[in-house]
Amino acid sequence: MAQEHVVLLDEDGYNVGTTPKATVHHGETPLHLAFSSYLVDDAGRVLLTRRALSKATFPGVWTNSCCGHPADGESMADAVRRRVKDELGLDVGQVELILPRFRYVAEQDGIVENEMCPVFRARAYGEVARDPAEVEDARWVTWPELLGMLDDPRLSTWCRLQLQQLSELGEHPDDWPVGDPAQLPPAATP
């Protein structure tokens, strides 16, 4: 299996190279490209996941449906589909950009996340079949339930920051307007 790499970025979001994912996260993690996704089912619920306890970064925290890193030259939508299938065993419909310019820095136990991390919404199909190396637990929650966790320290920093922004876009994920792809970091538009 080929070693997974992440796309390194400058402050303007341009690709400045790649580095192995296995070595990128540490106390001085360089800025890199990632994504977050929120999966919605036909009942309008959002999938909340708990990161595997064995993960090097933010083990055991609850977070949005799926996060990941696109490969160099891979479209963001394809990266979302790939990681959702790998981590959760789900197929997704149309992948829609919601927050094109989301960026954050977070630290836990000396490990820093430093990402330009566009946020996407997608409709999920099928039954969750989680990869235990990636996902400890998963559960469908209503949007009001998820918003009720906004101040819960068990929820990832990036998810809490995203929820603050997403809550301003509409009362339900289906109401969120689609973001402008021209606002994506340049490295996210191969």
- Set out the domains of the chain in order of their start, with CATH numbers: 5-170 (3.90.79.10)
**What's residue 81's pLDDT?**
98
Catalytic residue among 67, 87, 136, 159: 67
Low-confidence ranges of the chain (pLDDT < 50): none
Q: DSSP state, 155?
A: B
Nearest residue to 34 (alpha-carbon basis) of 102, 89, 84, 133: 102
Tally Cβ neighbours within 10 Å of residue 29: 18
Q: For residues 28 and 86, what is the distance between their CA atoms, to the nearest angstrom?
A: 28
Q: Residue 66 burial by CB count (10 A; 0-12/13-18/19+): exposed, middle or buried?
A: buried
Catalytic residue among 96, 113, 115, 134: 115
**What's residue 29's pLDDT?**
95
**What's residue 56's pLDDT?**
87
**What's residue 1's pLDDT?**
56
**What's residue 3's pLDDT?**
85
Query: Strands (DSSP E) along 29-187, which ranges?
Result: 32-33, 35-40, 46-51, 62-63, 66-68, 91-99, 103-108, 111-116, 119-125, 135-141
Nearest residue to 142 (alpha-carbon basis) of 41, 52, 27: 41
Is 115 known to be catalytic? yes
Q: Residue 151 burial by CB count (10 A; 0-12/13-18/19+): exposed, middle or buried?
A: exposed
- Residue indicated by tokens 């289906």: 174
Is 117 known to be catalytic? no
**Alpha-helical segments (H) within 131-182:** 143-147, 157-166
Q: Please count the CA atoms within 13 angstroms of the CA of 76 that sit on its side-chain side.
A: 27
Cα-based distances in Å from 176 to 4, 12, 15, 38, 97: 32, 26, 29, 11, 10
